[in-house]
Amino acid sequence: MTALADHDSIRAVQWRGDVLRLLDQRRLPAEESWLECRTAAHVRDAIADLVVRGAPAIGIAAAWGVVLAAQTGEALTPVLEHLRAARPTAVNLMWALDRMRARIEAGADAEALQREAQVIQDEDLAANHRMGALGAALIDAGSGVLTHCNTGSLATAGYGTALGVIRAGVAEGRIERVFAGETRPWLQGARLTMWELVHDGIPAKLIADSAAAHLMRSGQVQWVVIGADRIAANGDVANKIGSYQLAIAARHHGVKFMVVAPSTTVDMATPSGEAIEIEMRDPNELLSIAGVRTVIDGASAWNPVFDVTPASLIDAIVTERGVIERPDAERMRAMFDPS
Ligand SMILES: CSC[C@H]1O[C@H](OP(=O)(O)O)[C@H](O)[C@@H]1O
């Protein structure tokens, strides 16, 4: 398979000097519509409501939210706290805001903060291309891969993390079969990853989340390749709900398990996955699809939207700094905290 389109043409987060344009991911693939944020509060709401989502993308959007506040002379400390509280699991949000806070405390004005936000965005794009090459190199020619949720241009500054590895692996002729899990309940895989893959001309098959173990047993996939929202100091990984059971099934079937994330997703201050806060979202996201209720009135639901995969079930963590095979606390420290 050869990719036909320009991978970098999808830009979900667009800075326009005094307004942040966000591709409204709640409406894809049916509608490509844009939300214009002119205040930090608009950006905070867009992150909380999943207009923009994906760990790196929400950090980048929050950084631009700080710029909007600085341009209008808002008090920045409450703005930082308001943006930080938008979603709890993806550490990229906190990392980006800490980086902006450091610049504010160093006396940066709106112009300097705008330059910082642009650097954060540009660094993420560069990291994605480097991770694409590093991750693809782990995949033998003729392989099939399964991915989960959306980790592409919609979730990052462009190109993607796990989906970047898939783009690179297809372009290099290493990956012959691509499967994407629908990713209930928000359907990031069905609605977003398939949209990106069709946009790029990369043939892929959507599967029901419940078909994943059967697919692995069929021998059509050699790798599961996913993103991350927070990687703890011992290599445990918080990612979209359903990742953990993919890792269990993959280990059972001898399928390798790769996590792809920029170093801005690594949180060496969090010792293990047990300490990662898992976002709980509105149960109604489970009780209806596309606004159509699918469950009898009076029913309730439990809707954690992330889970934790222990490092012991992960074969490789790929970041722009390099690959950690069979991650553990010592190997994480060697790469991220060598002091
Ligand atoms: C490169 S995106 C990382 C991560 O973010 C997604 O979560 P959400 O769609 O709720 O923001 C998913 O867990 C991806 O793997």
Q: What is the pLDDT of residues 178-229, one digit of tens each?
A: 999 999 999 999 999 999 999 999 999 999 999 999 999 999 999 999 999 9
Look at ligand 1, atom 11, and give the residue with the nearest C-alpha.
54
Give the DSSP H/E element, type plus range, for residue 132. helix 110-136
- For 306, list phi and psi in degrees, rounded to 5: -140, 160
pLDDT at 65: 98
pLDDT tens per residue, range 84-129: 999 999 999 999 999 999 999 999 999 999 999 999 999 999 999 9
- Whether residue 173 is found in the same domain as residue 300: yes
Across all residues in the chain, what is the average pLDDT? 96
Options 124, 200, 229, 307, the catalytic residue: 229
- State whether 122 and 243 are in the same domain: no
Q: What is the CATH number of the domain that holds 246?
A: 3.40.50.10470
Strand partners, 179: 146, 205
**Residue where one domain finishes, among candidates 102, 127, 152:** 127
pLDDT band at 291, cuts 50/70/90? Answer: confident
Q: Is the pLDDT of residue 4 over 50?
A: no
Residue 239, annotated ligand binder?
yes
pLDDT at 3: 42
Q: Is 188 annotated as a binding residue?
A: yes
CB 193 near ligand 1, within 6 Å: no
Long-range contacts of 245-253, Cβ-Cβ distance < 8 Å, separation of 24 or more: 245/212, 245/307, 246/146, 246/148, 246/181, 246/212, 247/309, 247/310, 247/313, 247/314, 248/313, 249/212, 249/213, 249/216, 250/216, 250/224, 250/313, 251/313, 252/213, 252/216, 253/213, 253/216, 253/217
Give the atom of ligand 1 at the shortest distance from the alpha carbon of 240.
Answer: 13
- Kindly give the distance from the C-alpha atom of residue 156 to the centroid of ligand 1, in angstroms, as a whole number: 9
Specify the residue with its C-alpha closest to ligand 1, atom 15: 227
- Name the domain boundary from 77, 96, 127: 127
Residues 241 and 256 in one domain: yes
Structure tokens at 262: 């920029």
56 CB near ligand 1 (under 6 Å): yes
Q: Is 87 annotated as belonging to a binding site?
A: yes
Identify whether 229 is a catalytic site residue: yes
Taking the chain, what is the end-to-end CA distance rounded to the nearest angstrom?
44
CA–CA dist 92, 62 (Å, integer): 10
> CATH number for the domain including 61?
1.20.120.420
Q: Please indicate, yes or no, whether residues 170 and 76 belong to a single structural domain of this protein.
A: no
CA of 203 to the centre of ligand 1 (A): 22
* Atom 8 in ligand 1: residue holding the nearest Cα: 54
| Structural domain boundaries enclosing 68 | 4-127
Indicate whether 196 and 315 sit together in one domain: yes
d(CA 199, CA 197): 5
Q: Is the CB of 192 under 6 A from ligand 1?
A: no
* Residues above pLDDT 70, as percent of the chain: 97
- The reply to whether 323 and 231 lie within a common domain is yes
Last residue of a domain, one of 92, 127, 162: 127
Backbone angles phi, psi at 284, to 5 degrees: -65, -20
Whether residues 18 and 142 fall in one domain: no
Q: Per the structure, how many domains does the chain have?
A: 2
240 labeled binding residue: yes
pLDDT at 290: 85
Q: With a threshold of 0.90, does the pTM exceed it?
A: yes
Q: Are residues 105 and 209 in the same domain?
A: no
